Amino acid sequence: MGKSFPAILPEHEAFIKKQHIFFVGSAPLNAEGHINISPKGHDVLRIFSPTEVAYLDLTGSGNETSAHIEDNGRITIMFMALEGPPEILRLYGTGRVILPDMAEWDELAQHFDLLPGARQIIFIHVHEVKTSCGYSVPFYSYTGERDTLQKWAAQKGEQGLIDYRQQKNSTSMDGIVTPLGKRFSGAKEAGHS
């Protein structure tokens, strides 16, 4: 049976730190919009307090989580034991998108290894932690991280990443403008003034 907690306990933190993958869930307010679930690898998640976590978000083919946070703030992170005793742990909260040109970036970014392709930090205020059994989750063995995304980002170069993000990361599947998209459109407007 699942249990609910108002904050991350020390045993939750220990469990989270053992996991090599987590999943991020978000959705727009529009009932016809797409629900998004995104896997995250690498050592990109940090716990700042029992109610505050953040992860370094790397450039990808979409930017749904960022758009959904802009739309309504809701976000869920799920961890599950793929080795050892079964367990699932979810963090429910509200998020904020922190871009590299924002005042908070420098303070938060120092807590991460800034991997090639880092595009934003997703900062989450956790209002509920839920654990459940995970009895039917199969065993998987961790053998290492893929370096494909980092190589791709390094090959693109900074301007290539900016161009890619402008094309692929400015709006969600449902047309919600992301914080990056707002930056790009603001830069265009400033250039035309």
Q: Domain ranges in the chain?
A: 3-192
Q: What is the structure's pLDDT at 193?
A: 44
- Provide the b/e sequence for 173-187 (b: ≥16 CB within 10 Å): ebebbbbbbebbeee
- What confidence category does residue 22 fall into, taking pLDDT thresholds of 50, 70 and 90? very high
Q: What is the structure's pLDDT at 187?
A: 65
Query: Which of 28-32, 44-48, 184-188 shows the lowest per-residue confidence on average (mean pLDDT)?
Result: 184-188
Provide the 10 A C-beta neighbour count for residue 92.
Answer: 17
Q: What is the mean pLDDT of the chain?
A: 95
- pLDDT of 188 > 70? The answer is no
CATH 2.30.110.10, domain 3-192, yes or no: yes
pLDDT tens for 113-138 read 999 999 999 999 999 999 999 999 99
- State what percent of residues in the chain have pLDDT above 90: 94
Give strand ranges (E) for 41-87: 45-49, 52-58, 74-80
CB 94 within 8 A of CB 63: no
